[in-house]
Structure 1
Amino acid sequence: MSKHSIQTLLATSTALAVCLIANVGYAVAAEVPAAEVPAAAGTADDQSTSANQAGQANDRQSLTTSDIIVTGSRTAEAAPLTASLTTTQPQAAISREFIDNANAASDFNELIALTPGVSISGTGNGQGFSETKAVIRGFQDGEYNVTYDSIPFADTNNPTHHSTSFFPSTTIETVVVDRGPGNASQLGQATYGGNINMYSRAVSDKQGVMGEALLGNWNSFIGRAEIQTGKIDKWNGAKFVLAGQYLKSNGALTNSPVMSKNLFFKGVIPIGDSNKLTVMSTWNRNYYYQSDVLKGSTCGYAQSGYATLKAVNCSAGSNIGMYGLNYGMGGDPTKQDYWKYNRTDKTTDFSYLRLQSDLSEHLSLDNRVYMYGYTNNTMSGNTSTVVTGFSGAGTATSPYKAVTDASQIPGYNKMNKYRVIGYIGQADYTFGFGKAKVGGWYEHANTWRHTWDFSWTTGLPSYDQKFYSGATSTLGYPSTALANIKYEQNSSWDQFQLFGELELRPVSNLAITPGVKYVNFKRGVNALVNADSYRSPANTSATWTKALPFGTINWQPKTNWSFYGQYAQGMYVPDLSSFYTPSYDAATAAQSSSVAATVKPQTSTNYQVGTVWHGRKVSIDLDGYIINVNNKIASATDTTAFSGTLVNIGTVHYKGVEGQIAYMPIEGLTVFGNGSYNYAHSGTTNAQVAKAPFSTAAAGFIYKHKGLRVSFSQKFTGPQFATELFSVKTSVNGVPTAVTQYSTLDGVRLYRISPYSTGEFAISQEIGTHFRIGATVSNVFNSRAITAVSNASGGASTTTQGATTYQTSYGTADQFSFLPPRSFMVDVRVKY
């Protein structure tokens, strides 16, 4: 990045800050009194937050120190989203008060939906009733970290997440969305595009019991209970919380019921005068009915040209033609989309022990051991044909002929089961003009994955998985007896990270923090049948290492105004699919390992600047960023490479400006808004990457007075493209080819999704000290906008120019996802 670019970025962001502050200066001309500047967003006696409490979120030993939220006014504290005066990167902290009054079924992605630069998809079955995905500035799930009490968690094939599987909102005290890789002490498998840092529910000093019941559309019911022991004097002030939640709903979509159960336990136990032990464990079980193959509703109409995507004029026989926009699963047992053929059952657990020790006035230690597990047992219909066996002789590369039965219903069983254990250790040493922090992280993961084909009609195996059809030899490939196994795979990783930071304060209002992190990541696979197009056995591994430098600055010219800057490098380790090449003997295993090792991790280089200002009635933060991604990983297009081989293909460039504001015109009323412009262009095509909105915005208000709380918010998601495809190259000289990215003939891109928005209204009233009644309305204006599309390879119009055929319309089998219809939920809460 050039010196001129950095200067331009800094000047632009500073100018925006000065202009906006000048425009609202009439409302906040007086400087905030010192008494109104708390050390953090809450105190040890304020049980609505867990800030400042040892063993809780955001304590002084927090690994992610930028998430110790320091506010400078009541306006900043009252806003649903705020940024810390001490932050070193763009951020939005979501308060517990906002979480407590949001739609009770919301998953952690939906809790952050209002934040700048964030867009959410996957809500079609109703808020909280289906898994969602979040995009941050164009970075997709898997390209940023998600942590719980500073402990990273993710799937073990790639670092993606299941939003309804681990932590319902009852287990979350607050969430901090850091739009950047953080400092060197920010740990994770994808310290790359940002961080969603969740913190567990606080344990109260006071004894109490709470029960809550909620009823809503689609026969939805949520029951909650919580017991707080308060401080127990005979146990040296130890305190515990036990909570549980039960959720059940028929869902907004046809034949798509869901159910979940959660138990949560946490204890904070003082040991002597200088140690605190935190014990936390949560268990979650949920199931839902959803196709594992079909990713939306078909319209059956091939809309021509490159116009904005719309589900209009749908054919009578399509999903939308038969069921409308609320299609989820069918009711016909002779078809593979019959809802009873498509069930996903998940069980998860997450536990840790944390010991915090003050060894002296200057030295403290923080040690955590943790474990989490995930089991996904999916039964699904399939789009293939049931193969009952084999007969005769085939070709040289396919030495058998399949015997099929089109009258049977194809299906499969998919299992993904992993267990992760880890340790995080950290030491903090404070001295006269700063603080040093060093630490490390070690983690081991074991995973078992399989997909077995069978017939729903007979319950017997379906042998429709053969060895790679392009092979020249059958040597080393699975026998026909294994043709019901798509893959049967064990995999593992062993990774460690070491970090060091030095926070220097040459003057009291200036913090300069250089740091470095070393990453060592070893991944291996041992498979009877690997999850690749060859279906070969596999037994190989590879190791990736890198040192990542960091540097941040935070300057507070006034107690309520700060400026910050960040330079940071991030890293994304290649997915398990880097081993999806044949390794059926010693030679091919060595070749597979070599191919995987040559894939360099994706890296990001981040330049960010911003400012945070908390006035008496107005709170503002603004930022600008430029992020360059190198070594972008994609499938090889070289005809001499193994099919599915991953290679580094180039760069992706991200840049944009973001900001948020909160205004308190009268006591009790807070008006807020935010917006972002997010450019995320591929260095290969120079086009916006898929599923990355060009812009986002949010606005709303919160009013609180004498136990009454009323709020409304509206989230706007700008235009985006549903796929990376400009056009699909379907054939060359009449020979079908793989789906590949090509420019359209006239330079216009397919699969554009229009801007859309959705709103949420909530009202509640405290009745005395023990009762609360309330209601929530989601998607207030009942928008049914398209939020995602899964494009099909067939059913589209094409045109041929020369020897190449291009797609010129949308396909009849394209699958659409929509915003769910308006929903209501009422609740009654009792507490003592």
Structure 2
Amino acid sequence: MIKHPLRGALLAASSLLACTAHAADAPATAAAEAASAASDPQSTTANQTGQANDAQSLTSSDIIVTGSRAAQVAPITASLTTTQPQAAVSREFIDNANAASDFNQLIALTPSVSISGSNNGTGFTETKATIRGFQDGDYNVTYDSIPFADTNNPTHHSTAFFPVTTIETVVVDRGPGNASQLGQATYGGNINMYSRAVSDQMGGQVQGLLGNWNTFIGRAEFQSGAIDKLGGAKFVVAGQFLRSDGALTNSPVNSKNLFAKAVIPIGTANTLTLLSTWNRNFYYQSDLQKGATCGTGGTALAAGTQLTATNCTPTSQIGQYGLNYGLGSDPTKQDYWKYNRTDKTTDFSYIRLQSKLAPGLSLDNRAYMYGYTNNTMSGNTGSVLALSGAGTVASPYKTTTVAGDIPGYYKLNKYRVLGYIGQINYDFALGKIRVGGWYEHADTDRARFDLDRTTGMPSYNEKFAPVTGVGTLPSAAYANINYLQYSKWNQYQLFAEFEFHPIEALSITPGVKYVHFNRSISGPVNQKSRNPIDTAATWTKTLPFATINWQAKDNWSFYGQYAQGMYVPDLSSFYTPSGTSTDQAVQQQNLAKLQPQTSTNYQVGTVWHGSHVSVDVDGYIINVNNKIAADTSTGAPSNALVNIGQVRYKGVEGQVSFVPVTGLTLFANGSYNYAHSVTSGAQIASAPFSTAALGAFYNHNGTRVSFSQKFTGPQYATEATAGATGPRSYRIAPYSVGEFAISQMIANRFRIGATVSNVFNNRAITSIANGKTYGVDDQFQFLAPRSFMVDARITF
């Protein structure tokens, strides 16, 4: 029912595009665009070597074109040169957003994007972004065109690496990009972040922010400016400290970040860029639960009944503590907040050398590394067990219950990634040639040990795998180990593309990429089965690409894309639920046959930038093959992974910006997103049917005022059952959330401001972790309550 008005809105936007092309307001010309960029060199870093974006970036869509006043001041815009649907988030928007925002929340207003996980308040818990129904792990996230992700699967921790103080701009590419777009999941799109620009002018700023829930954020930044004695070298250093009690009970957070970047000219033909950032954060939240329990008195709800938090049982967590339940304060229970702490330390560094070898010929080299260490302490269900003697081979050790002690565990996830990206660029009369490659190596340690949280000593809760227990008694040291494993990957990608310009206004770019991915795993106790493991698998794929961009006028372009993407199987493809020899044999057979998920993308769109109006509209069809899911065949081990079925994605998206008077920008966008499983014929889980956003942004003479509202359409928390009839359960009702910000610059040195998040205090359900029985033991997450933040900034 919701999709029809949205389609109408998109059709109206398309009609507006056609009309405004002939409107009285004069279109921006290429000359005007060049003059604008020249007059404000910091408005975009597109052509500054070594900065956030650069002329030799890995995809042409990295370059943000501000072809009109409307596009230049819009909070979100698209490039005239893009070859796929795109949303570029401006530095102005980032600077005026909620200071605690993570990179997912910075893109929340873009088309087809929905955000979940902010139940503890903006920036105070990790969030996940969904793009067109593609979940985190189905798309790439890059920083200065360097891909980064977890090493068990290519997902991301939104608060672990890059706070907003390290981000200049963000570009969301809703597509695989060209052949030169690199990443572990060239599949559902790309979130491309770019580091803070290094200014030619010396200066800096200090900022302090206070908010409810005892929130404090302190920031400092210093720009050296171009240093003549060092040949024009420029440096920036920045830092941030954040602490908050959070919106949820007993869920405080604390984080700190240091960032440094240097851009150093070497002679007249080389530029060296050095960047390093370090982050430490810890927080208190349950590692077991995915929300607060509700329950309906043990009685299952009828299928299709809308889940709400209005009928929770008095004994449930919501019933006892309300919507803001996070953790408890009773040390005799496993949800005691001091038993549930996560501590993360991360770093990300690179060295980059850009060289002009000859007229039109250039070389770009990047070597990088990043690391992640997650130490999690958690309470657990069940009982603390102590060893009480030897048993049989089948049940080698006896245990007794330790009355009154609280069970729990310690979990480690630690990885280090090293990589290199090399690219040769050749520009000549007919176009550009880009050839290059990417190599990456990753080492990961993962472990989980059962603990007595009351005493800190081991708890011997684990059963022994049958294969392990044949013939001899295993060591008692393994009785408290849930898993202890080491994994590696060695991957490389080779690419080549030719951006052909048969005429000046037309760009045709065919390309090809070869992907080679080897993953190995070893260890004495594998996850789930708990048997020893030492195995590896390799997946390869050749991916073709072709894009076109035609600038029919200086301010109006059309584009199209054909591209293939792939998703390499996760580390979990090596797991089996038990250690029986039969299950291990089936797992090895499945692993040998398991193929990467692949996608074929077809997209078309248009971008128009007038002096007062900017519009872009697109449509897409994406076919996903080799969907990886659990093997449901007769006799298959539970949760063993195989390739099944297809998923089809299709939809339309559009956005428009309008500048009625100087300083005021009105903004709106919308999308209709169809993401159906071919197997079940239903919309896949966690994929909203639609999204929309609107906003008003005013910036004039030092006064900045903004309001935005994001709408997320209906979605389902779980997958539909193939062949099922009747109403579908676990529907999440549509919801929206708004943000207001105001600030005033005083004497060009001082700024005071305030931000209100969730302006209308909407407490809608945003995610549901389903229990065994519908409506009985489900867990809910909600929008965090309305929050306030005030800030003061001194610029020098």
Task: Give the alignment's TM-score, normalised by structure 2.
Answer: 0.95
The alignment status of 1:252 with 2:216, answered yes or no, reads no
Distance change (3 Å), C-alpha of 1:54 and 1:590: farther
The alignment status of 1:774 with 2:772, answered yes or no, reads no
Given that residues 28 and 618 in structure 1 are in contact (C-alpha distance below 8 angstroms), is that contact kept between their aligned partners in structure 2? no
Q: Percent identity?
A: 68
2:512 to 509, 512, 516: 516
Structure 1, 585-594 or 425-434: larger mean CA deviation: 585-594
Q: How is 1:454-469 mapped onto 2 (pairs within 5 angstroms)?
A: 454-468=451-465
1:557 to 552, 560, 578: 552
**1:830 maps to which residue?**
794
Distance change (3 Å), C-alpha of 1:56 and 1:583: farther
For residue 72 of structure 1, report the CA deviation from its aligned partner: 1.6
CA distance in 2, matches of 1:475, 1:452: 25
1:335 to 333, 336, 339: 333
The alignment status of 1:656 with 2:651, answered yes or no, reads yes
2:192 to 191, 194, 197: 197
SS of 2:673 mapped into structure 1: strand
For residue 67 of structure 1, report the CA deviation from its aligned partner: 1.5
CA distance in 1, matches of 2:137, 2:116: 15
Given that residues 239 and 267 in structure 1 are in contact (C-alpha distance below 8 angstroms), is that contact kept between their aligned partners in structure 2? yes
Structure 1, 342-351 or 385-394: larger mean CA deviation: 385-394
CA distance in 2, matches of 1:242, 1:201: 10
For residue 307 of structure 1, report the CA deviation from its aligned partner: 1.5
- How many correspondences in the alignment? 787
CA distance in 2, matches of 1:672, 1:477: 68
The alignment status of 1:439 with 2:436, answered yes or no, reads yes
For residue 393 of structure 1, report the CA deviation from its aligned partner: 4.9
The alignment status of 1:38 with 2:3, answered yes or no, reads no
The alignment status of 1:760 with 2:739, answered yes or no, reads yes
Q: How is 1:614-763 mapped onto 2 (pairs within 5 angstroms)?
A: 614-724=609-719, 726=720, 741=721, 744=724, 746-763=725-742
**2:5 maps to which residue?**
none
Q: Which residue type is aligned with residue 497 of structure 2?
A: E
Given that residues 396 and 474 in structure 2 are in contact (C-alpha distance below 8 angstroms), is that contact kept between their aligned partners in structure 1? no
Distance change (3 Å), C-alpha of 1:478 and 1:135: farther
Given that residues 540 and 590 in structure 1 are in contact (C-alpha distance below 8 angstroms), is that contact kept between their aligned partners in structure 2? no
Given that residues 377 and 410 in structure 2 are in contact (C-alpha distance below 8 angstroms), is that contact kept between their aligned partners in structure 1? yes
Given that residues 387 and 404 in structure 1 are in contact (C-alpha distance below 8 angstroms), is that contact kept between their aligned partners in structure 2? yes
Given that residues 542 and 593 in structure 1 are in contact (C-alpha distance below 8 angstroms), is that contact kept between their aligned partners in structure 2? no
For residue 786 of structure 1, report the CA deviation from its aligned partner: 0.3
For residue 483 of structure 1, report the CA deviation from its aligned partner: 1.6
For residue 779 of structure 1, report the CA deviation from its aligned partner: 0.3
Given that residues 29 and 67 in structure 2 are in contact (C-alpha distance below 8 angstroms), is that contact kept between their aligned partners in structure 1? no
Given that residues 702 and 710 in structure 1 are in contact (C-alpha distance below 8 angstroms), is that contact kept between their aligned partners in structure 2? yes
Distance change (3 Å), C-alpha of 1:478 and 1:51: farther
1:326 to 324, 327, 330: 324
Given that residues 476 and 536 in structure 1 are in contact (C-alpha distance below 8 angstroms), is that contact kept between their aligned partners in structure 2? no
For residue 312 of structure 1, report the CA deviation from its aligned partner: 1.2
Q: Which ranges of structure 2 fall in alignment gaps of 5 or more residues? A: 1-7
Given that residues 61 and 81 in structure 2 are in contact (C-alpha distance below 8 angstroms), is that contact kept between their aligned partners in structure 1? yes
Q: How is 1:247-646 mapped onto 2 (pairs within 5 angstroms)?
A: 247-301=242-296, 302=299, 304-305=301-302, 306-390=304-388, 393=391, 397-398=394-395, 401-468=398-465, 474=470, 479-532=475-528, 534-581=529-576, 594-646=589-641
CA distance in 2, matches of 1:304, 1:583: 33
Distance change (3 Å), C-alpha of 1:22 and 1:516: closer
For residue 650 of structure 1, report the CA deviation from its aligned partner: 1.2
The alignment status of 1:821 with 2:785, answered yes or no, reads yes
For residue 432 of structure 1, report the CA deviation from its aligned partner: 1.0
Q: Which residue type is aligned with residue 345 of structure 1?
A: D
Given that residues 63 and 150 in structure 1 are in contact (C-alpha distance below 8 angstroms), is that contact kept between their aligned partners in structure 2? yes
CA distance in 1, matches of 2:555, 2:329: 60
The alignment status of 1:810 with 2:775, answered yes or no, reads yes
The alignment status of 1:785 with 2:780, answered yes or no, reads no
Q: Which residue type is aligned with residue 231 of structure 1?
A: A
Q: Which residue type is aligned with residue 763 of structure 1?
A: I
Given that residues 29 and 554 in structure 2 are in contact (C-alpha distance below 8 angstroms), is that contact kept between their aligned partners in structure 1? no
Given that residues 27 and 609 in structure 2 are in contact (C-alpha distance below 8 angstroms), is that contact kept between their aligned partners in structure 1? no
CA distance in 1, matches of 2:29, 2:421: 40
For residue 402 of structure 1, report the CA deviation from its aligned partner: 3.9
Given that residues 536 and 582 in structure 1 are in contact (C-alpha distance below 8 angstroms), is that contact kept between their aligned partners in structure 2? no
CA distance in 1, matches of 2:679, 2:398: 42
Structure 1, 254-263 or 459-468: larger mean CA deviation: 459-468
Distance change (3 Å), C-alpha of 1:277 and 1:331: same
Structure 1, 169-178 or 473-482: larger mean CA deviation: 473-482
Structure 1, 25-34 or 362-371: larger mean CA deviation: 25-34
For residue 431 of structure 1, report the CA deviation from its aligned partner: 1.3
Structure 1, 404-413 or 597-606: larger mean CA deviation: 404-413
Given that residues 222 and 238 in structure 2 are in contact (C-alpha distance below 8 angstroms), is that contact kept between their aligned partners in structure 1? yes
CA distance in 2, matches of 1:589, 1:637: 16
CA distance in 2, matches of 1:750, 1:589: 35
Show CA shifts across 1:600-620 (max 9, x none): 000000000000000111100
CA distance in 2, matches of 1:314, 1:635: 32
For residue 362 of structure 1, report the CA deviation from its aligned partner: 1.1
Given that residues 761 and 778 in structure 1 are in contact (C-alpha distance below 8 angstroms), is that contact kept between their aligned partners in structure 2? yes
The alignment status of 1:178 with 2:173, answered yes or no, reads yes
Distance change (3 Å), C-alpha of 1:582 and 1:504: same
CA distance in 2, matches of 1:575, 1:126: 30
SS of 1:665 mapped into structure 2: coil
Given that residues 29 and 555 in structure 2 are in contact (C-alpha distance below 8 angstroms), is that contact kept between their aligned partners in structure 1? no
Show CA shifts across 1:65-105 (max 9, x none): 21111122010011000000000000100001100000000
- The RMSD of aligned alpha carbons is 2.3
For residue 477 of structure 1, report the CA deviation from its aligned partner: 9.3
**1:729 maps to which residue?**
none
CA distance in 2, matches of 1:65, 1:524: 35
CA distance in 2, matches of 1:775, 1:591: 59
Given that residues 14 and 617 in structure 2 are in contact (C-alpha distance below 8 angstroms), is that contact kept between their aligned partners in structure 1? no
Given that residues 48 and 97 in structure 1 are in contact (C-alpha distance below 8 angstroms), is that contact kept between their aligned partners in structure 2? no
Distance change (3 Å), C-alpha of 1:43 and 1:339: farther
For residue 412 of structure 1, report the CA deviation from its aligned partner: 0.2
SS of 1:408 mapped into structure 2: coil
CA distance in 1, matches of 2:619, 2:601: 11
For residue 334 of structure 1, report the CA deviation from its aligned partner: 0.4
Task: Give the alignment's TM-score, normalised by structure 1.
Answer: 0.91
Distance change (3 Å), C-alpha of 1:403 and 1:565: same
For residue 776 of structure 1, report the CA deviation from its aligned partner: 0.4
CA distance in 1, matches of 2:577, 2:305: 42
For residue 559 of structure 1, report the CA deviation from its aligned partner: 0.5
For residue 47 of structure 1, report the CA deviation from its aligned partner: 2.5
Distance change (3 Å), C-alpha of 1:21 and 1:214: same
Given that residues 44 and 64 in structure 2 are in contact (C-alpha distance below 8 angstroms), is that contact kept between their aligned partners in structure 1? no
CA distance in 2, matches of 1:154, 1:43: 36
CA distance in 2, matches of 1:603, 1:99: 34
CA distance in 2, matches of 1:562, 1:412: 56
For residue 687 of structure 1, report the CA deviation from its aligned partner: 0.9
CA distance in 2, matches of 1:223, 1:633: 44
Given that residues 414 and 446 in structure 2 are in contact (C-alpha distance below 8 angstroms), is that contact kept between their aligned partners in structure 1? yes
**1:125 maps to which residue?**
120
**1:799 maps to which residue?**
none
CA distance in 2, matches of 1:44, 1:626: 41
Given that residues 240 and 266 in structure 1 are in contact (C-alpha distance below 8 angstroms), is that contact kept between their aligned partners in structure 2? yes
CA distance in 2, matches of 1:15, 1:499: 38
CA distance in 2, matches of 1:119, 1:662: 20
Given that residues 44 and 51 in structure 1 are in contact (C-alpha distance below 8 angstroms), is that contact kept between their aligned partners in structure 2? no
For residue 645 of structure 1, report the CA deviation from its aligned partner: 2.3
